[in-house]
Structure 1
Amino acid sequence: MRVFVTGGAGFIGSHTLVQLLRQNAEVTAFDNYSNSSPVALARVKRLAQSDLSSVEGDICNRAALETAMRAAKPDAVIHFAGLKAVGESSEKPLSYYKNNIAGSIALLETMDAVGCRNIVFSSSATVYDPAKAAPFTEEDPLGAVNPYGRTKQFIEEIIRDWAAANSDASAAILRYFNPVGAHVSGDIGEDPVGIPNNLMPFIARVAAGSLPRLQVFGGDYPTSDGTGARDYIHVEDLASAHLAALKYAATVKGCDVFNIGTGRSTTVLEMLHAFEQACGKAIAYRITERRAGDVASSVADVSKAKRILGWQAKYDVADMCQSSWNWQSRNPKGYDNGQ
């Protein structure tokens, strides 16, 4: 199978590429490297012991997309590319709407132009209405409370309409929760530009000494210890879910949606203490005010993915923390370490 992966050099994309290549897929990675590095692709090739094609480009550039896709002749697309920080989206909403939505429309238009009818879209649990008590099922009402989540919700509707308008189209939408961890080799992992917006890389950099302390946004949520609770999922599990969805989309028509998580919640402080166990040292933190757009708890009901995709998570929080620390300690400067 020939697979075109937008955002292929990113955190989730790079881990998915390794698994695709090990399944003998012909892969083209398309990325503008705004929050990723081409070094990741070199390491992907080494880990998979296989080659791939890569194109530097922006999904909002329709001409660049079409040139790349006509050369790749993909059977399917996995769509990761997009801005992804909840807090930043509240500060820069127009950038998120422009990049995520306009880019996704350009991608679907290009798929039409080249005759590609299969897509797996990485959505997010942020599409759910937090007024509904967790765990969330795929049938629960949507109602994103931040611009990032709304872009994902709107893109889902666009893809659903696209699939409905094309009888030969197939789309699998994955609503995943909080991806963390790294490849067991320690060669690829999460390497955000600047100060991390996500919990795990921030904890890892505090543990490594490159940041002074973790800011915990909110200590008065209705959770076991007052800090926000999330369904964290190992990036390797998330990558395997995309392969399962790709296989599913190749056999059915229409559009379907799946939650991808563990079905268990972990608070910020629980994750911090688990990371302390992994790295063998105390991690400084302080509790500050809640962050705009955050919710108290977000947990998946993952029974549908298990039933239909035959997929379920394998790794626990200890695995997530140990692999993240392995990546951080081996790559203190991230991909700036080079090849």
Structure 2
Amino acid sequence: MSEDLMSQAQALEEKAITVAVQELRRKANRGDGPPIEIPREHVEQDYRGRIAPLFEPFTRMPEASSYTGAIEAANDAMKQLSSGEAKDPISGGNILANPDLARAESAGDTLHDWTGAAADNFKRNFLDKFPYIAQNQFLLLGVLKGALEADQNRWGKADEDIRFLAQAVNDGLDNVLGCGKNELAFTFSVVSAVAAVGAIPFTGGASAVIAAVGAAGSVGNAGVAASKVVKKPGGSVDQVLKSMEDAIRELTKEIQDSGGKIAEALNGITGQVQGAKDSFVSPRPALAGMEGDVTTSERGLGGVN
């Protein structure tokens, strides 16, 4: 796809040179004197390298399809943590339940004969907390998947925008020698690529509330900005290229701002999760560090009737 974009940019450069030659010839031959020839090579010096280099940075944008694997992996991980009751926190879609989670919740019945300090700690620290810890991890994965989908959508829209921008410039060059008004319209759909979802509250007493984003179109209309349409003058070849340069600078800023929305939503996650770590991660079992007779003593697995 990057090769296609550069081919499009190089074709624009050739067209700009051709139209500029015709434009200068028309101006030079308005009188009644003999025809004045404008050498193409003279015009080429002014326009060669003025278009293609501006498009080159856009060839280094990631392909939207490159996000598919990571998004699918996050979705699969959510299935492992799904009780079937919670929905995707970003899209609101259903996630298939993992029946194995029910085994953890019913483990208390299986272990009812196990007594002692270890049994009490296990039930209090693991069995009782397991449902909401799994739920919190499920929600956190949903937030991360939503950010991946938002970034995927951002780069997809950015690719569309730069290609439509090139087409608008092409149309503007076609109209330079015409008699009608020459105005260029540039549409920046990347403005509407990322939607703010708001804050996702976590369960089981967790104090963390994490701001989230998603791909526009998968979260409804709330928090989604409209695409931005910018109109700029055409007129001469120089004016068309000036408008193109301005539009590319503006598109670059919109891509950066859109990415900033995702970064802002994610930057605080690490600190927020660390601040409520017990609501996301079960404590390390004391049995994990025991050896020998200690494991079977009252401090460990002892106390079974």
TM-score under structure 1 normalisation?
A: 0.22
- Select the structure of larger CA radius of gyration: 2
Structure with a larger share of its residues in strand: 1
Structure with a larger share of its residues in helix: 2
TM-score under structure 2 normalisation?
A: 0.23
